[in-house]
Each structure stands twice: as structure tokens, then as C-alpha cells.
Amino acid sequence: MLGRIRHLLSDLRRWLSRHLRAVAGLVAGTIVLAAAIVWLLAGGDSSDEVAAGAPGPQVLIREAPAPAEPADLGFPAFATKNTTRVAGADPIADAAGVALAVDPASGGVPGPDAVTLVDVGQWQAAIAAASLVAAPIGAPILLTDAGELPELTENAIAALAPKGSAATAGRAAFVIGDAVAPDGLADLEVSGSEPAELAAEIDRLRDRLAGAPEHVLIASSDEPAFAMPAAGWAARSGDPVLFVERDRVPAPTARALEAYKRVPVYVLGPEDAISAKTVKRLEDLTSAGVQRVGAADPVASSVEFARYSSETFGWNINDPGHGFVIASADRPLDAAAAAPLSASGTWGPLLVSDRRDTPPPDLRGYLLDLKPGYETDPTRAVYNHLWLIGDESALSVGFQAQVDELAEVAPVSSGPGAD
């Protein structure tokens, strides 16, 4: 009898393997768990005959979708030992994923007091809104689409359940520009007709809720890849992001700077993005000085900003033991979506990649320079961790594997004769 049951179970396992292969293939980038629990209650008798009147063997089978291939488990596309991916097909999904990763809002742990809603057609406003991520406001960014509320965003709001607080002026949502909010959510609208005006209005709100900033960050409204790293710093520091064009300081930006005469100003990006003429105009608007941070291309510029330090401004990340966020230069909204990761967890700068399949040289060189090491005990080492933003259309699995290796702690030698 037992032999027959084992034969039947073997057939059943083969059947499940064939039919669950199709089910598992439908689930990409997620972890699916499978269990088949089979126990024969035969009193330890291995013979094919069971005594008359004894209870027959009981077969209990619990089944769940089973991965047919190792890749169906979600690794390494979801995570590796040193990386974690927020694998959204677009920035709307990335923003929802990041918000719920930073504020799980479960297990009795409350979510954020408020969220910030920005429309996908206004990337500049989304980057400027990153200053509202910083304490004491703490409002993650979620995205709407052409005046509509995507289901992912709506579900994220429901899960986060913002209620408002004194830190958010009692508002559960800040609705920026063309964005919309769900009915019944206590919100505050921030309006403006152009990027510089919207950024200045966001700064007015931030100033009212959090007070005057320590620094002001100026970004290009025309070159999104150069502006992207501003979102991470704004979320970490609460410093406002204001926008200029290459050869012009828009009036809303000038008015905002006039209110911060004694606040240092930092310009993000090279002269090709923000000209020397524009910097000179900015210098006329402040008595605290203007400094430029950046390099000739977006990747090198993001690395330069991650390394930069001037008194209390800048990440100053020039040694191992830190967090980093990597996003595609082709998806500027991902910088805003990822901003809460720069203000929590392993707090780290946003780095830009202009390649999908392999880290560009400046990014590779920076991560290699910061590769952690240990002499005798890896458990006493420091570690780097990298968040990747977007699905494989933004950054490939091969890219993820390569930056994982760059982040891995490695043995080092010291003393005479060391290499």
C-alpha cells in the first residue's frame, strides 16, 4: 500500500511541476513560496499490507504556486546580498513601492502624517517636493497621471493612511500643481503655472512648516538628469530646490532667494546646464555666496555631488559604510520617487546611470573606491548597500549583479609586503 501511495505522489509532483510552471512564469520579480506536505500515518509499518480494522493511510497535500525556475524566485532581479530593487515598471509604481518600503504602516507602526502628490507631467515639481520628505514634515512622494489617481497610488494612500498632524498643519496630503487627491482626504493645494513658480511655492510651504533652511540648492529646469541628485539631498536635509534655466533666473526663483539673503546657495551641474551668466545673477541675489557642484555629464556630476562637502552642506561620502540609491538618467521622476530612501534606512545620495546594462566608468570607479574591506573579521567590517530604482527596462539584472560585486566587502592586507 505504501509503495502505491508513493508512486501516486510521485506522479502528482510531476503533474504539479508541469502545470505550475505556467503559473510561476506569470509572477515576475516577486517571491513565490511553494510547499507540498505529505505525511503517511501508517504506524511505521513499511509492508504493503495493513492490519484489518486499522485506519487507512491519510495523505495531506497543501499546494501553492511553485517556482519552476530559480529566476522565478525574484533573485537576483529583486535583491542580491548588497542590493535591493524597487522594481516598478514606471515611476508611479516606484513611488508607491518606496513609500511602503520606508513606511510599512503595519504591525501597529503608524504611517506618515501626510503624503505629497505630484503629477507625472511635472518632474521639476516632484524633485522640488522632495524637501517635504525631510523631518519634521516627512511626506513621501506619490504620483498621479494627467489629473487621474492611479490605482497603485490610491492603494498606497489607503495603506499609509495619513491623518495629518501639527507638523503638516493638519493636512494629510499636499497636492502639487496638476495632481489630484482622493475624496475625503484633508489636503492643501500648491499651485503654479511653470516649474520655477511651483518650486518656489513648494518652498513657501516648506518654510511655513519647517522654518528657514540652512542652504538653497539650484537645479536646471531644462536638464533633468543633472537635476535628479537634488531630490536625495532635499529629502535628507530639507533644503529647498529652486530652478533656473541655462541663461536665466526666473522671477519666482529670484523672489525666493531674496528672502534668503544670508543663506548659502549651491548650483548643481556644469556650465552647459547652468551658465556662468546665471551664476553671476544668483550671486547678485545673495550675500552668502554661490558655489557650483557638478561635472560635465550627469553620471560624473552625481558622483561629484555625493563626494562634495562644504561645512554643513553635502554628502561627503568618501569612505565605505554607506547607503546609495541608483536611478536611470532616462527616468527623472524616479529621483523624486526614491527620495525617502535618502532620508531613512541607510541614508545615501542618489547616483545617476546613463547605461542600462553596465555601470558607467565614473559610477563604477566611485563604488570601487568605496568598496568595503576587512583585515581579519568580516563581521566587524562596515558595509555598503545599494537601492536600485525601476525594473529591468531601467537597470538590468546584469547591472545589478555588477554593482553588487562592487559593494561586496573584501579581505585586505596591511603592513609590510601588502599589495
For residue range 152-179, list pLDDT tens digits in order.
999 999 999 999 999 999 999 999 999 9
SS3 373: strand
Is residue 256 predicted with pLDDT exceeding 90?
yes
- Per-residue model confidence as pLDDT tens digits over 1-60: 544 544 444 454 444 443 433 333 333 333 332 333 223 233 444 444 433 444 433 333
φ/ψ of 37, rounded to 5, equals -100, 115
Which of 406, 331, 315 has the alpha carbon at shortest distance from 86? Answer: 331
Q: How far is the C-alpha of 209 from the C-alpha of 129, rounded, in Å?
A: 13
Q: What is the mean pLDDT of residues 131-146?
A: 98
Q: Name the band, by pLDDT with cuts 50, 70 and 90, for residue 375.
A: very high
Q: Given its phi and psi angles, is residue 367 left (phi above 0), alpha (psi -120 to 50 degrees) or beta?
A: alpha
Tell me the pLDDT band of 105, cut-offs 50, 70 and 90.
confident
Say if residues 262 and 287 touch (Cβ distance below 8 Å): yes
Q: What is the pLDDT of residues 327-368, one digit of tens each?
A: 999 999 999 999 999 999 999 999 999 999 999 999 999 999
Three cell numbers, residue 91: 515611476
C-alpha cell at position 300: 560624473
Average pLDDT in the chain: 87
Q: How many residues does this entry show for the chain?
A: 419
43 vs 375, more confident? 375
Closest CA to 241 of 113, 120, 332, 376: 332
Query: Is the CA virtual torsion 347, 349, 354, 355 positive or negative?
Result: negative
Domain ranges, ordered by start, for the chain: 2-69, 83-411
Q: Write down the pLDDT at residue 361.
A: 98
Note the pLDDT of residue 414.
Answer: 65
Query: How far apart are alpha carbons 142 and 350 in whole angstroms?
Result: 18
98-110 burial, b at 16+ Cβ within 10 Å, e below that, comes to bbbbbbebeeeee
**Nearest residue to 252 (alpha-carbon basis) of 221, 226, 225:** 221
Q: Report angle CA 156, 345, 402 to the nearest 5 degrees.
A: 95
- 144 C-beta neighbours (distance < 10 Å), count: 24
Q: Which long-range contacts (C-beta less than 8 Å, at least 24 apart) are formed by 41-48?
A: 42/1, 42/2, 45/2, 46/2, 47/2, 48/1, 48/2, 48/3, 48/4
DSSP class of residue 55 equals P
Main-chain phi, psi angles of 285, to 5 degrees:
-95, -10
Judged by DSSP in three states, 108 sits in: coil
